[in-house]
Chain A
Amino acid sequence: EAQVTQNPRYLITVTGKKLTVTCSQNMNHEYMSWYRQDPGLGLRQIYYSMNVEVTDKGDVPEGYKVSRKEKRNFPLILESPSPNQTSLYFCASSLSRQGSETQYFGPGTRLLVL
Chain B
Amino acid sequence: AQSVTQLGSHVSVSEGALVLLRCNYSSSVPPYLFWYVQYPNQGLQLLLKYTSAATLVKGINGFEAEFKKSETSFHLTKPSAHMSDAAEYFCAVTLLTGNQFYFGTGTSLTVIP
Q: Does B17 sit within 8 A of A, measured CB to CB?
A: no
Q: Does A79 sit within 8 A of B, measured CB to CB?
A: no
Instruction: Considering the complex, give the chain A residue whose CB is closest to the CB of B107.
Output: A42
- Find chain B residues with CB under 8 A from A98 CB: 96
User: Given A40-B9, A105-B43, A106-B43, do A50 and B99 touch, yes or no (CB 8 Å)?
Assistant: yes
Q: Does A74 sit within 8 A of B, measured CB to CB?
A: no
A45 touches B51 (CB 8 A): no
B32 touches A33 (CB 8 A): no
B44 touches A42 (CB 8 A): no
B99 touches A56 (CB 8 A): yes
Q: Does B42 sit within 8 A of A, measured CB to CB?
A: yes
Shortest CB-to-CB span from B37 to chain A, Å, is 11
- Find chain B residues with CB under 8 A from A41 CB: 105
A99 touches B103 (CB 8 A): no
Q: Among A35, A59, A92, A103, find the residue whose CB has the most chain B CB atoms closer than 10 A.
A: A103
User: Given A56-B99, A105-B43, A107-B42, do A100 and B90 touch, yes or no (CB 8 Å)?
Assistant: no
- Find chain A residues with CB under 8 A from B46 CB: 102-103
For chain A, the bracket of interface size reads 20 to 34
- Find chain A residues with CB under 8 A from B28 CB: none
- Find chain B residues with CB under 8 A from A100 CB: 32, 49, 51
B96 touches A59 (CB 8 A): no
A61 to B44 Cα, complex, angstroms? 21
A59-B100, A100-B32, A108-B43 given; 9 more Cβ-contact pairs under 8 Å: A40-B105, A42-B90, A42-B103, A56-B99, A99-B31, A99-B51, A99-B94, A102-B49, A105-B44
> Which residues of A approach B to under 8 Å, CB–CB?
4, 33, 35, 40-45, 48, 50, 56, 58-59, 90, 92, 97-100, 102-103, 105-108
23 contacts between A and B (CB under 8 A): A40-B9, A40-B105, A41-B105, A42-B90, A42-B105, A42-B106, A43-B44, A43-B92, A43-B103, A45-B100, A59-B100, A90-B43, A90-B44, A92-B44, A99-B31, A99-B95, A99-B98, A100-B49, A102-B49, A103-B46, A105-B45, A107-B42, A108-B41
